[in-house]
A and B are shown apart, each in its own frame.
Chain A
Amino acid sequence: AQKITQTQPGMFVQEKEAVTLDCTYDTSDPSYGLFWYKQPSSGEMIFLIYQGSYDQQNATEGRYSLNFQKARKSANLVISASQLGDSAMYFCAMRETGSARQLTFGSGTQLTVLP
């Protein structure tokens, strides 16, 4: 079973608008962490934001926030006030804290910000 599902292969958003990128996950581990990474066309992986399964509040980092709905097993990334530089591939990833194994990634969402 796929552990991380990103159902939006591509998304478009107008500059200065907000956009939500969807991510659902599957785990039986009560303790886990959820990460979002950005991959611009240059190829590097840039860490954006983290949410722990026991965190009471949704994570925020500047224009990025994570809409964490534990019962629904979703961890959507919200980008506010989109900028042209936000155009990139975005990956949701999970690490089950009880395991030494590394991240499990979704297939990604290609975001294009339109001027």
Chain B
Amino acid sequence: NAGVTQTPKFQVLKTGQSMTLQCAQDMNHEYMSWYRQDPGMGLRLIHYSVGAGITDQGEVPNGYNVSRSTTEDFPLRLLSAAPSQTSVYFCASRRDGIGDQPQHFGDGTRLSIL
């Protein structure tokens, strides 16, 4: 009953460091996405994928890379961390493109950039 699993749950980085946030789902969902949540704002879409090998940019893609080599995994890479990337990051998945499918969210990764 894992659903969407994000690792790590917490991370502190120094400016300029790179890292990868992991996301895995075991529901065989086609669609996966990454959001960031900043104080006083709703979640904003970073990148998303509609299937293995297919990714696209969301609202706030700068400074992040993604890839989707398998259906299960959708890692988010920070290339050179900046303090503006301090946020809570959520990975989400849904079965397919049919409108009424809800997103299933992971528990989030709290990232602090010093």
A105 to B99, CA, bound (A): 16
Given known contacts A105-B44, A108-B42, A43 and B103 CB-to-CB distance under 8 angstroms: no
Q: In this complex, what residue of B is CB-closest to A96? A: B99
Q: Contacting B90 at CB < 8 Å: which of A4, A45, A100, A101?
A: A45
CB contacts under 8 Å to B, within A42-90, are 43-45, 47, 50, 52
Whether B103 pairs with A102 at a CB distance below 8 angstroms is yes
Q: In this complex, what residue of B is CB-closest to A53? A: B99
Chain B residues within 8 Å of chain A by Cβ, number: 25
**A93 CB within 8 Å of chain B:** yes
Whether A44 pairs with B99 at a CB distance below 8 angstroms is no
Given known contacts A91-B42, A91-B43, A33 and B100 CB-to-CB distance under 8 angstroms: yes
**A107 CB within 8 Å of chain B:** yes
Q: Which 8 A-B pairs have the closest CB atoms?
A: A105-B42, A45-B105, A97-B99, A47-B102, A102-B33, A33-B99, A105-B43, A107-B42
Q: Mark A17-48, 1 if CB is under 8 A from B, else 0.
A: 00000000000000111010100000111010
Whether A43 pairs with B108 at a CB distance below 8 angstroms is yes
Q: Can you give 17 contacting A-B residue pairs, CB < 8 Å?
A: A32-B99, A37-B105, A45-B90, A47-B103, A47-B104, A50-B100, A52-B100, A91-B42, A91-B43, A100-B50, A100-B97, A101-B45, A102-B92, A103-B43, A104-B45, A106-B42, A108-B42
